[in-house]
Amino acid sequence: MSDIALATIEDVTNRIEGEVTDQMLVMIEAKIDDASDLARHYGSEAWLIDTAPPRVKRIVAIAVARFMANPTGLSQSRAADETLAWQDSIAELHFTDIEIEQIGKLGKPVLPRFGSIQMTAYQTHYRPYGDRVPVDYGGKPFPYLTPNEVLWDEYSA
């Protein structure tokens, strides 16, 4: 299995009906890489087999198994009641529209529902180091500091 794969050969073979040949195993391995690249295109380029959501791994395995069910891309057409004919269609690994939508949603970053914002009193811009915030009780203004700043003066103890 390659480093870029988002599914294992076993994940795919468990979804295939019938016996899997050695030639099919070689094809499956190559198509897993193709499907993994395609999933990263629609989702997140940072996904690895350990970090990808389980749903994405299943979609990759399903897409490869779907391809392996008809690797030559033949489709059956029927003309009249007695005639059966085969026509070539595009033999290409693909995701369905629903799968693409699901992968896209899983690839978006989740925004936190709780957080904090920086607030500056009496001004609409960031207060640089050394600004003083006025107080209501008539005392000395105190320094407005960000978490990374340290002020060694009469307010430090």
For the stretch 71-126, pLDDT in tens is: 877 766 665 565 555 665 666 888 999 999 999 999 887 666 665 566 655 555 55
Do residue 127 and residue 98 come from a single domain?
no
CA angle 105, 107, 112 (to 5 degrees): 85
One domain, residues 60 and 101: yes
Which residue in 12, 1, 14 sits closest to 67, CA to CA? 12
Q: Are residues 23 and 63 in the same domain?
A: yes
In this structure, the answer to whether residues 102 and 124 fall within a common structural domain is no
Tell me if 140 is assigned to some domain.
yes
Q: What pLDDT is recorded for position 114?
A: 63
Give the domain extent around 53.
9-107
Q: In Å, what is the CA distance from 77 to each residue of 18, 48, 69, 143?
A: 24, 40, 18, 80
- Rounded to whole angstroms, the Cα distance separating 145 from 133 reads 10
Number of domains in the chain: 2
> Does one domain contain both 16 and 86?
yes
Is residue 24 in a domain?
yes
Number of neighbours of residue 83 by Cβ within 10 angstroms: 8
Kindly state whether residues 80 and 131 are assigned to the same domain: no
